[in-house]
Structure 1
Amino acid sequence: MKKIWTLCAALLSVATMASAQSKISCCTRPAANATETFAMLATNEDFSGGHDSPLPYAYEGQGEMIEFKTTDGQTGKGFEIKSNVRSDKYLFIIHEWWGLNDYIKKEAATYANELKGVNIIALDLYDGQVATTPDEAGKLMQAVKTERAEAIIKGALLHAGPGAKVASIGWCFGGGWSLQTALLAGPKAVGSVVYYGMPEKDVAKLKTLNTDVLGIFATQDKWINPEVVAQFQKDMVAAKEKVTIVSYDADHAFANPSNPKYSKEYSAKAHELALAYLRKNFKLKS
C-alpha cells in the first residue's frame, strides 16, 4: 500500500491482468467496460491487502429483504426501507465488494432517516453471497457478470414503477455501479453519487445521462487515481454533462470504518456533501 504507482504503471497492471483474466477469473472474456476493468483489481495484492475484513456486526432495525423479477427471467434481491408516506422517490444503494452485508443495511437505515419521503433499496449484485475476507470479496467481485448486474438493476427499476424518480449511491465496486445505474435508469434518473468507483469511459454512453453526477474521490487513491478522475471530468465535459468532483486528501475506501485508511473527518464531510446533493436532487426540504 505504500508503493507509489505512476499512471503508466497502473495501466500496465490493468493490461497484464486483462491478459491473464481467463486464468484467474470465472469471466472468460476480456474486460469490456469500466466495471469489469475495476473488478480485475481484485487480483492485485496491494488492492486486496488494503481492505481489512469487516468487524462482526449484526443489523437490527427497520427494513426487510425483498425479491423482484429481473429482466433476464430470474429474480433479484434487495434490502428495502419504505418511506412512511407514499412516494415515487427511490434511492438505490450499491454495496462495496463485500456484498450486501449488515453494514450496508445500516447505511440504508441512515439514509432512510435522513431522506424523509424517499424509499431506500440496497441492491444485491452478488445474488445473496456475502464476503467476510478480502480473498472471498475479490472472487465475488470478479465473478460479477455485467449482463446479470444490469438485469438486477433493470428489475429494480421496474419494481420502483414507471413514474419513479431514482438516485443512486455506491462505494468502490458500488461506486462504479452507481454511475451505471444512472445510465440504465434513463429518464427516471435524478441523481448519482460515485464514491471512488471506476468511471464510465465511453463518452457516447455518458451523453445519455439524464442527471448530473457527484463524484467523491481520494487524492491518495492508487487505482481510481487523480489521473483517472481528471479524465472522467474531461469526458463529462465532452459529453456536455454536469459533474461535481470533490477529492479529499485521503486513500481509497476512506469512508469505510473497517478499512485501515478510514478517515472519520473526510467520511463525515463526504456524507454531508452526498446528503445535501440527494436532498437537492430529490427536491426535499432540509
Structure 2
Amino acid sequence: MAGADAAGQFQKVRIQREDTAFDAYVVGKQNAPGVVVLQEWWGLNNQVKNHAIHISQLGDGYTALIPDLYRGKVALDAAEARHLMEGLDWKGAIRDIQASVQWLKKNGSPKVGVTGYCMGGALAIASGVLVPEVDAVVAFYGTPSSELADPSRALAPIQAHFGELDTYVGFADVTAAKSLEEKLKSCGVAHEVHIYPGCSHAFMNTSPEALKNQGAIDLAWSCFATWMGRFL
C-alpha cells in the first residue's frame, strides 16, 4: 500500500481486474474487516472520502476502500454528474467492486462488506446479488435497475436506507424502497429497509440541511455499525 494522498490519511493502490486496472483509496485499520465504499454520481470526491474515514473508525475499526469507478473524473455540477453516471459501464463497475472485495480479502480482511450512496447504493445492492464474495451490504438511497440485478436473488444480507421525501421516482423514493423490501423478503436473506421521515435524497451528506437531519444521520450510522458488526 504505497502512495498516501495529500490529506495523508488515504493510501492509493492499483487494483487489477481482467485486462484493465484502476486506482483505489484505502484508509483505516489493517487486517480488519473490509468495507468497499462506493461513490455517488459525482465521483470520488471529499464527501465519499469522509464517509470512508467515518466507516474506518466505527466499532473496533475497518479497512475502508474506495474504488475510483470513474477513473479519475469528478463532476463539478449535476449535469456533468448525470453525464458521467449515464456513461458508466455498470457491469464493469460490478467487476471493479468484485476486484476490490478480492483485494481486501487478499490483504488481510477476513470478511468484506459493500456500502454506497445514490449511484453507489444501487451498485452496493447489485453487488449483494452478483458478487458471491460480498459478506454484507448497506445501501443508501439507490436501487439497481432490473437489467443490472434482481434483489429477489440477493446472496448477501442487505440493509438499505431511504429518505421519506426522496423524489427520485423508481430509484430512491418510498415506492422504490418498499419494492426493494418486498423483493428482499422473497429471497430469504437477512434484510432491513429504513425510511427516514422528513429526509430527502442524499441526507447523509454534509450540507445545510444535514443539521436538521442529524438525528436520522446518527440513527443510520448506528444501524450501519450494528449490521456490519453482525455480519463482518
Superposition TM-score tier, normalisation by shorter sequence: 0.7 to 0.9
| 2:125 equivalent in structure 1 | 179
Cα offset for 1:194? Answer: 1.0
Specify the code of the residue in structure 2 equivalent to 1:68: I
| 1:253 equivalent in structure 2 | 202
| 2:162 equivalent in structure 1 | 217
Scaled by the length of structure 2, what TM-score is found?
0.84
Gaps of 5+ in 2: none
> Does the 8 A contact of 1:200 with 1:206 survive in 2?
no
Cα offset for 1:107? Answer: 1.8
Matched, 1:91 2:91: no
Q: Deviations over 1:138-168 (max 9, x none)?
A: 1111110123212212221332246842111
Specify the code of the residue in structure 2 equivalent to 1:279: G
| 1:31 equivalent in structure 2 | none
Identity of aligned residues (%): 20
| 1:125 equivalent in structure 2 | 69
Which of 233, 240, 244 is matched with 2:188 structurally? 240
> Does the 8 A contact of 1:59 with 1:102 survive in 2?
no
Specify the code of the residue in structure 2 equivalent to 1:148: G
Cα offset for 1:264? Answer: 2.5
Distance (whole Å) between structure 2 residues aligned to residue 147 and residue 189 of structure 1: 16
> Does the 8 A contact of 2:101 with 2:134 survive in 1?
no
Distance 1:184 1:61, change over 3 A: farther
Cα offset for 1:260? Answer: 5.2
| 1:146 equivalent in structure 2 | 90
Gaps of 5+ in 1: 1-57
Distance 1:225 1:164, change over 3 A: same
Distance (whole Å) between structure 2 residues aligned to residue 261 and residue 227 of structure 1: 23
Q: Deviations over 1:226-259 (max 9, x none)?
A: 2221111111122223321110111111111237
Question: Aligned runs of 1:1-286 on 2, under 5 Å?
Answer: 60-71=7-18, 73-84=19-30, 86-87=31-32, 89-161=33-105, 164-186=110-132, 188-199=133-144, 201=146, 205-206=150-151, 208-223=153-168, 224-249=172-197, 250-258=199-207, 263-282=213-232
Distance (whole Å) between structure 2 residues aligned to residue 179 and residue 231 of structure 1: 13
Cα offset for 1:135? Answer: 1.7
Scaled by the length of structure 1, what TM-score is found?
0.69
> Does the 8 A contact of 2:23 with 2:71 survive in 1?
yes
Distance 1:138 1:104, change over 3 A: same
| 1:40 equivalent in structure 2 | none
SS in 1 for 2:216: helix
| 1:17 equivalent in structure 2 | none
Cα offset for 1:207? Answer: 5.0
> Does the 8 A contact of 1:82 with 1:118 survive in 2?
yes
Of Structure 1 and Structure 2, the greater helix share is in: 1
Distance (whole Å) between structure 1 residues aligned to residue 72 and residue 205 of structure 2: 21
SS in 1 for 2:206: coil
> Does the 8 A contact of 1:253 with 1:259 survive in 2?
no
Distance (whole Å) between structure 2 residues aligned to residue 131 and residue 258 of structure 1: 17
Distance (whole Å) between structure 2 residues aligned to residue 79 and residue 259 of structure 1: 27
SS in 2 for 1:244: strand
Specify the code of the residue in structure 2 equivalent to 1:229: A
